[in-house]
Amino acid sequence: MSIVQEEDNGTIENFCMDLKYGSVFSENTIRAYRGDLYRFLDYQHGRDIVSGFTLREIRGFVRSETARGIDSRSLSREISTLRTFGDWLVETGRLQGNPAKLVKLPKTPAKLPGFLAVDEVMQVLESYDTGTTLGLRNRAVVELLYGGGLRAAEAVSVTIKDLDTDERHLMVRGKGNKQRMIPLPEPTCRILDKWLARRPEFLPKDGNDPGTIFVSVRGRKLDPRDVRRIVASGVKTAARAAGATPHTFRHSFATHLLDNGADLRSVQDMLGHASLSTTQIYTHLTVERLRKAYRDAHPRGKD
């Protein structure tokens, strides 16, 4: 590896380290930013990343990525990465200005998230055999995804101390390490209590306990991949929920709340969205359902 390559790698890693300790970006976001910057570095063919961080090079990279066929959402993220990196270069005295701010983001069509009907959610929940400790744990995981609208990464990180089933609420640490309080429905709390009563069966004899609500059969903290497998096993036996992922239950949580009259700000708080516009996408889902009901039922709906 050349000295220039080592310096470039060091610059990228220092940037990612600053993002990590700034507690604003999630690990997944930092990982995506790192990959975007290394793609930009590869595009420059040996030119160092700071001196090559020019408007001409950035636009050339965007054209190259467009020609490669990446979608508008991925391209928008790459440009956002370069903008954030450019700001960091300025803040750390490596550049005088940020040319990436002069590059426009492509228009991206609104992508409506998928969701399940209430009976489809129930079909998945009831697919787990709660007569076994493993089945009970798996049901509790999906109950929390749907009952609290949690992301998979949040569900595996909540601790027993974060949960109060008597008061029926949960403290969650979301993106950017922001905390939010989520009310939980009584059926979810009931399943969680049953699981917690049997949770010690999965803990090792040495008493090592990660403290998280959910643990593996060997007593370790679950990770998001485990949650995806748990959901996939339930979806496999629930035909009407085909294709559902952990995030589908979060989408279903939001959609069902809005369908039943919850106000948008409250749903935003429960989901942990920084921007109301992120939550507003769920209103499109409910409007589309109303339009379909109108088209299907009104005498002039098909005119």
Catalytic residues: 151, 175, 247, 250, 273, 282
Distance from C-alpha of 120 to C-alpha of 206, rounded to nearest angstrom: 41
Task: For helices 186-198 and 133-148, give the axis angle rounded to 10 degrees.
Answer: 150
Alpha carbon distances (Å) from 185 to 135, 162, 287? 20, 16, 26
Ordered alpha helix ranges (H), the chain: 3-21, 27-43, 55-67, 72-91, 118-125, 133-148, 152-157, 186-198, 224-236, 246-259, 264-271, 276-297
Distance from C-alpha of 71 to C-alpha of 192, rounded to nearest angstrom: 41
Distance from C-alpha of 281 to C-alpha of 192, rounded to nearest angstrom: 30
Judge residue 243's burial from the number of C-beta atoms within 10 Å of its C-beta, 0-12 exposed, 13-18 middle, 19 or more buried. Answer: exposed
